[in-house]
Every structure is written in structure tokens, then in C-alpha cells.
Amino acid sequence: MLVRTNALSILFLFLYCVIIQLILIQKTGEINKMNRKHVHLSASTHFATIAGERRGELVLLEVDTEKAMENKLEFYHAGGEVWLSGNIPIEFVKESEKSLEK
């Protein structure tokens, strides 16, 4: 069961993507849910790494949830460290400095 929230205690949610996905995000201006019902995000870099490492060379993106929610984006807690959202405009997304951490 998804739980929609109006307030997140988590300031940033994370998404790992491969370079080609990053280029697509930059070109379209948003993180797109593609064939899924939602964009899948992680509450921690560790979980994002596990979810993304099977895809190739990764770039870690941070979603500023506070700013996004101020602009009417909705986030749903799917359980554990998994959060869901609709498409996310790139104005709320930045490449994380944590990408450099190994």
C-alpha cells in the first residue's frame, strides 16, 4: 500500500542512473517514469547503489524533496527505503557529490 505524504523528513531522495539515462534526463528536462507507474527513488545512497549497480557505470542524482513538494510534486512511501513519484523536473535534481564516494 502506498502512503502519500505532504511532509518528508528526508530532504533528499536518491536515484542512480547510467550515463545514457542522464543524457536523456538532461534532454527531456525531467526524470521520466518511462514504462513504470512511478519514478523509483531511494532514501539512502547505499540502497540506491544496490538498485542501480547492475546497470553499468552509475551517476548518483539527488532530488530536493522539499523544493519539489513546495511545487506540488507528490511522493509516496512504498515501504522500507523505497519512495515513488511521478516525473520529476530537473530543476529539483542535481548530480550528487556522493557519486565520488566509493
DSSP letters for 17-59: EEHHHHHHHHHHTEE--TTSSSEEEESSHHHHHHHHGGGSSEE
pLDDT digits (tens, 9 = 90+) for 7-21: 555 667 777 677 778
CA distance 70 to 58: 29
pLDDT digits (tens, 9 = 90+) for 30-65: 998 888 898 988 887 776 666 666 666 677 888 999
The predicted model scores a pTM of 0.77
Domains of the chain: 3-100 (3.20.170.30)
Q: How far is CA 71 from the centre of its chain?
A: 16
